Amino acid sequence: MTEQQPAEPPPWMCANCNLPLGLSKVDVGYLGNAFPVDLLKCPNCGLVFIPEDLALGKMADVEKQLEDK
Amino acid sequence: MTTRSRIYEQQAMRDVAGDMIRPGGLALTDHALAYCGLPAGAQVLDVGCGPGASVEHLIAQHHLSALGVDPSALLLRDGRRRTDSLPLVQSLGEHLPFATNSFDAILTECSLSVIKDPDMALTEFRRVLRNNGYLVLSDIYARNPHGVAALRNLNIDSCLSGAMLQDEVTNMVRRHGFVVTLWEDHTEALKVFTARLIWSQESIQQLWRRTLPSCAEASDVQTAIAHSRPGYYVLIAQTAGV
Amino acid sequence: MLIEIAKGDFTAALRQYKKTVPFPGIISRICDQPCQDVCKRAEAGDAIAIRNLERACVDIGESSSEKSRPLPKRGGKIAVIGGGVSGLTAAYDLARKGYAVTIIEADSRLGGSLWKVDRDFLPAKTIEDDVNAVIKLGVVIRLNTPINQELHDLRRDFNAIYVAIGAHTVERFDLDQDEYGFVKVDAVTFATSMDGVFAGGGLRWGKEMHSAITSISEGRRAAISIDRYLQKVSLTASRINEGTYPSCLYTNMQGIEPHPVIDANDHQQGYEWNEAIQEAKRCLQCECMECVKACEYLKQFERYPKRYVREIYNNLSIVKGTRHANTFINSCSLCGLCGEICPEHLDMASVNLTARREMVEQNRMPPSAFDFALRDMQFSNSDKFELARNRPGTDMSDTVFFPGCQLSASSPDHVESVYAYLNNHLTDSRVGLMLGCCGAPANWAGQSALFESTLAAWRTQLQAMGNPKVILPCSSCYQVFKNHMPGVEIVSLWEIYDQCGLPAFAGTVEPANCAIAIHDPCTTRYETSIQDSVRRIVQRMGYQIEELPLSRERTECCSYGGLMWLSNRELAHKVIQRRVAASQADYVTYCAMCRDFFASHGKRALHLLDLIYNRDTPGVSEIPGASAQTTDERAARRGPGYSQRHENRARLKRKLLKTIWGEEMDGAQAYESIRLIIADEVRVKLEQRLILTEDIQRVIEYAERTGRRLLNQGTGHTLAYFKPTSVTYWVEYLRQADGFAIYNAYSHRMEVPGSGQLS
């Protein structure tokens, strides 16, 4: 599964662990289906970063696709 | 545009690799094979095998004597690159380079709708199948009879533009001397497949842009396809014994 | 078929034609066109020359080579006595079904009385070609074979018999006859007195070629009977629409220009292609589109209501997958206008509402469809807003004011004014107050269980207050109480104003803008008495009423109905635009949502209470909750956003509790005290994304409490996410001395591991 990340990763870091985020494979799920994706994630506590364009773009498209036809 | 673009050779489609090679994936293949109950060693032909994932699966998991044909040298090369011993033959479904009565089953997964002359292909299927042989079709079909005309006018080589209605599919199969024993709707699998396809791209728009030559056409294609209400089916037929 | 001809596609037209009739060559030449008697075109010109058009298809269209293959063989031997058109039709249909059919003909050739037709008119080749189609199906033909045995004996060799010997014989066999000497035949099934023997065609009428098309029709219907007879199923079930029957199709002939029939240049040869096209274009393509003309929703989905009903039915009956009609079902405002307009009262509202309930029942309702509205309802019926009190100093109520959720959200000040008015004017009545949502959104969303439990809660509440009469300003609440709580006495607030009189100050000032258009909420469609009351109130205040083209029982929905505004926002936008364009005048309505939706599209619109309570009138400022705005300001104001609506309800409850009952509210959640600083452009974005202030407060509360948040080293902003129920909200914010500045927020439903749960 390919995932295009912006050329410059956003400068977010985990506030709690004080660590930079690293790319990691995460399964996001919807209605019983898992969708693997590479997301920026805190290597210590697992907090993830979902960018706005992913939430409002592809995630919304997939939600709609699975909900309705 | 003089050459029709082939959706199934596009990188976007090939990207959705792994077990999701088509709606339902290998799980749907297993589901259909369970219905046929073929003995180990049975001779099975996969028409439109692409890079041969099903062929490999039939041999390794079902211990069948499987063989694949596909007209796309590109896709066959992908397959051989993965496993060089795969028995894959370049051929059109309309002209099978095999003797009469040589297979126990034919698998045609998501490919009848892209075959240019399905009637001719079915004549060939009937010819190379033994008596009481199985034809396993899984494919996209159109669920709206009023949306089919616009679909046929699309200038793309795709299962979506070749989608037929349920009656058209079953009647065509019957015309070629088969008895249809099973029709199952698996539209849910198509939905999940489409979701995965979207997921593999940045967005739906991106998906259409990558699979179609120009944006203007993409919007027509989307409208026509949506209107036809694509669904997915599994059909199992048997050659009528003489 | 005529559409294809009009397009010049004779081949497609021929294909259509062949699907409907067994012998295209013959019928297109000899049909006596009984359908012309009822052709609507005759009311504006002449009836369509259908036979000539059929012939043009046969002459010009290219016959496809595809043969009609018989289906697998079915057991059953059938004899058809008589090879005329009726017998041939029955033989053709039955052979195609896979039966072994034998035609027994007394003459030396098939065709019967067809051979008596003028040869120029019906050439021998045409007869032979069409008759050959029957022979090709494998039907056994016995020519020169008069029946010289009793049918009773013949029955031993055949499982069923169709007698179609025409009118030219006095042969009656051993079948019962009527008083005129004709064979007794059942008019629906064509069964005779003998089991397994059917009869039809000319023998029933005793007249040569009385109507070839009727003989063919009877052959076809007899074949259906024979098939059912052999399959041992009911002969009579669902056969109402066979043969001719009165159609309920309504065609509006208004504005249709008369055009006479196109004459063929050469009568012998029939239509030239261009003549046929001209004639086909005269066809009105009868389709009653009256409801589609009036309804933006039906228009948007582009098709004909009867087809929708079938699609919805299909959507529900297909067990696996397929939810194609969901958007269609969920987009309807359930307003009932189509049912009012339809000459046959086909009402999409009841069809769609049933479908929604079914979808919920089958767990197939898309989770996001109505979620936002249901959560809004949940808020209204939570401690935040829900309230039921008798008037201070009483322990029972004779009447109770139930303002509903949206008037309280949109104009909380009016709720206070009205409650004060009721206490002043209903002097012999103890007036209680009930705040909350009636349950309409749950009903609209198909959530029957939630709807029922909401109703049950209100019933219990009313019982505890001594079963008071409920005073309702909102017509959606009115319908819920009227239709679902039959034991509860209700009255519209507008009838009270009408009967008890307006407050003394109302209507004493000459209105600046005299003409005003009344928009009736769709939930008052059949509430004539409420509509009349409203008009009297508006007149009494000195306004001239302009009636909109669609008003009263034909009024349009504002898009709030059925939750269309939520399930199909694009369509809702069009619906509102269409409604506000109906008149230039300011609108006055008596539903808070109608007003706010119109105002959201730049229309000057007033709630009826805006007319009564405003700053224009002296003295109004002395009453509780008196509006700080003039009528003019009221008409132009935008309704509050979604967050503000929650806030307004909560504040209204707090204020009323304090001012009327002297109670303080307690038990605020920790997140509610979080102060947000939101710039206007961000606020607009949040509204569009359906993200409420309280959603943002919850994210911040969670993030600040647990420390689970991201930090942007460049901007110093914090980003955090939290999933209170089914939606994950992301908020980008910056902690400041006096609160939290909000820069962005977005949401998704896909689930991400570790997105915080409600503790």
Assigned fold of C77-230: FAD/NAD(P)-binding domain (3.50.50)
Distances (CA, A) of C72 to B120, B174, C101, C339: 22, 9, 14, 45
B179: contact with C, CB 8 A cutoff: yes
Tell me what pLDDT residue C757 has: 43
Q: Spell out the CATH class of C670-748.
A: alpha beta
Decide: B109 and B78 in contact? Cβ < 8 Å. Answer: no
Tell me the DSSP string of C556-617: PP-S-GGGHHHH-HHHHHHHHHHHHTT-SSEEEES-HHHHHHHHHTT--EEEHHHHHSSTTS
**Residues with Cβ < 8 Å from B193, sequence gap 6 or more?**
B16, B20, B22, B23, B24
Considering only CB atoms, which chain A residues are within 8 Å of C751?
28-30
* Residue among C69, C71, C322 whose CB faces B143 most closely: C322
**How far is the C-alpha of C167 from the C-alpha of C178, rounded, in Å?**
15
When pLDDT is cut at 50, 70 and 90, the band that residue C255 belongs to is confident
When pLDDT is cut at 50, 70 and 90, the band that residue C4 belongs to is confident
Higher-confidence residue of B65 and C346: namely B65
Average pLDDT for chain B:
83
Decide: C208 and C113 in contact? Cβ < 8 Å. Answer: yes
Tell me what pLDDT residue C310 has: 67
Tell me what pLDDT residue A69 has: 46
Decide: B121 and B62 in contact? Cβ < 8 Å. Answer: no
- DSSP bridge partners of B45: B67, B106
Q: Which of B21, B164, B186, A58 is nearest to C318 (CA)?
A: B186
Structural domain for A36, as ranges: 13-67
Against chain B, the chains showing at least 3 CB pairs within 8 Å are A, C
Tell me what pLDDT residue B1 has: 32
Q: Which of B138, B95, B116 is nearest to B237 (CA)?
A: B138
Decide: C264 and C242 in contact? Cβ < 8 Å. Answer: no
**How far is the C-alpha of C448 from the C-alpha of C610, rounded, in Å?**
35
**Residues with Cβ < 8 Å from C232, sequence gap 6 or more?**
none
User: Does residue A31 belong to any structural domain of this protein?
Assistant: yes
R_g over Cα of chain C:
36
Query: A4-8, B122-126, C422-426: which range is least confident on average?
Result: A4-8
Tell me what pLDDT residue B222 has: 73
Taking every pair of Cα atoms in chain A, the longest distance, rounded to a whole number of angstroms, is 44
Buried (b) or exposed (e) across C163-179, using 16+ Cβ within 10 A? bbbbbeeebebebeeee
Average pLDDT for chain C:
88
Tell me the DSSP string of chain B: --SPEEGGGSHHHHHS-TT-SSTTHHHHHHHHHHHHTPPTT-EEEEET-TT-HHHHHHHHHH--EEEEEES-HHHHHHHHHH-TT--EEE--TTS--S-TT-EEEEEEES-GGG-S-HHHHHHHHHHHEEEEEEEEEEEEEES-GGGHHHHHT--EESTTTT-B-HHHHHHHHHHTTEEEEEEEE-HHHHHHHHHHHHHHSS-HHHHHHHHSS-HHHHHHHHHHHHHH-EEEEEEEEEEPP-
Cβ of B143 within 8 Å of Cβ of C321? The answer is no
C108-122 average pLDDT score: 86
Q: How far is B29 from chain C (nearest CA, A)?
A: 18
Of B202, B205, B208, B209, which to mutate for an interface test with A (greatest number of A Cβ within 10 Å)? B202
User: Does residue A2 belong to any structural domain of this protein?
Assistant: no
C364: contact with A, CB 8 A cutoff: no
Ramachandran category for residue B63: left, alpha or beta (phi over 0 → left; psi -120 to 50 → alpha): left
Q: What is the pLDDT of residues C679-700, one digit of tens each?
A: 999 998 998 898 999 899 999 9
Tell me what pLDDT residue C334 has: 96
Q: Which of C365, B21, C449, C318 is nearest to A31 (CA)?
A: C365
Considering only CB atoms, which chain C residues are within 8 Å of A13?
710-711, 713
C616-645 average pLDDT score: 74
C746: contact with A, CB 8 A cutoff: yes
Tell me what pLDDT residue C648 has: 93
**How far is the C-alpha of B113 from the C-alpha of B124, rounded, in Å?**
16
* Residue among C707, C709, C748 whose CB faces A60 most closely: C748
Joined tokens for residue B130: 């033994």
Tell me what pLDDT residue C627 has: 59
CATH superfamily to which B5-239 belongs: Vaccinia Virus protein VP39 (3.40.50.150)
Highest-confidence segment of C234-243, C500-509, C595-604: C595-604
**How far is the C-alpha of C558 from the C-alpha of C556, rounded, in Å?**
7
**In this predicted complex, what is the ipTM?**
0.91
DSSP state for residue C263 in the 8-state scheme = P
User: Does residue A35 belong to any structural domain of this protein?
Assistant: yes
A8: contact with C, CB 8 A cutoff: no
Against chain A, the chains showing at least 3 CB pairs within 8 Å are B, C
**How far is the C-alpha of C306 from the C-alpha of C298, rounded, in Å?**
11
Q: What is the pLDDT of residues C372-419, one digit of tens each?
A: 999 999 999 999 999 999 999 999 999 999 999 999 999 999 999 999
User: Does residue A29 belong to any structural domain of this protein?
Assistant: yes
Tell me what pLDDT residue B242 has: 47
Buried (b) or exposed (e) across C703-738, using 16+ Cβ within 10 A? bbeeebbbbbeeeebbbbbbbbeebbbbbbbeeeee
Q: Which of C560, C513, C568, C563 is nearest to C541 (CA)?
A: C513
Query: C57-61, C148-152, C469-473, C728-732: which range is least confident on average?
Result: C148-152
Taking every pair of Cα atoms in chain C, the longest distance, rounded to a whole number of angstroms, is 112
Q: What is the CATH number of the domain that holds A18?
A: 3.10.20
* Domain range list for chain B: 5-239
Q: How far is C239 from chain A (nearest CA, A)?
A: 35
B209: contact with C, CB 8 A cutoff: no
**How far is the C-alpha of B128 from the C-alpha of B102, rounded, in Å?**
5
C302: contact with B, CB 8 A cutoff: no
Count of domains forming chain A: 1
A50: contact with C, CB 8 A cutoff: yes
R_g over Cα of chain B:
17
Tell me what pLDDT residue B18 has: 47
DSSP state for residue A58 in the 8-state scheme = I
Q: How far is A56 from chain C (nearest CA, A)?
A: 7
**How far is the C-alpha of C211 from the C-alpha of C37, rounded, in Å?**
14
* Residue among A37, A61, A69 whose CB faces B203 most closely: A61
Considering only CB atoms, which chain B residues are within 8 Å of A4?
202
Buried (b) or exposed (e) across C510-523, using 16+ Cβ within 10 A? ebeeeebbbbbbbb
Q: What φ, ψ does residue C244 adopt, rounded to 5°? A: -95, 145
C611-631 average pLDDT score: 66
| Cα-based torsion angle of the residue sequence C128, C134, C135, C136 in order, rounded to the nearest 10 degrees | 110
When pLDDT is cut at 50, 70 and 90, the band that residue B114 belongs to is confident
Of B140, B143, B167, B180, which to mutate for an interface test with C (greatest number of C Cβ within 10 Å)? B143
Q: What is the pLDDT of residues C131-157, one digit of tens each?
A: 998 888 889 999 998 888 888 888 899
B188: contact with C, CB 8 A cutoff: yes
**How far is the C-alpha of B69 from the C-alpha of C44, rounded, in Å?**
62
Cβ of C750 within 8 Å of Cβ of A52? The answer is no
pLDDT of residue B158 exceeding 70: no
Joined tokens for residue C327: 């958007």
**Residues with Cβ < 8 Å from A5, sequence gap 6 or more?**
A23, A38, A40
* Residue among C69, C71, C322 whose CB faces B187 most closely: C322
Tell me what pLDDT residue C625 has: 57
Cβ of C326 within 8 Å of Cβ of A68? The answer is yes
C722: contact with A, CB 8 A cutoff: no
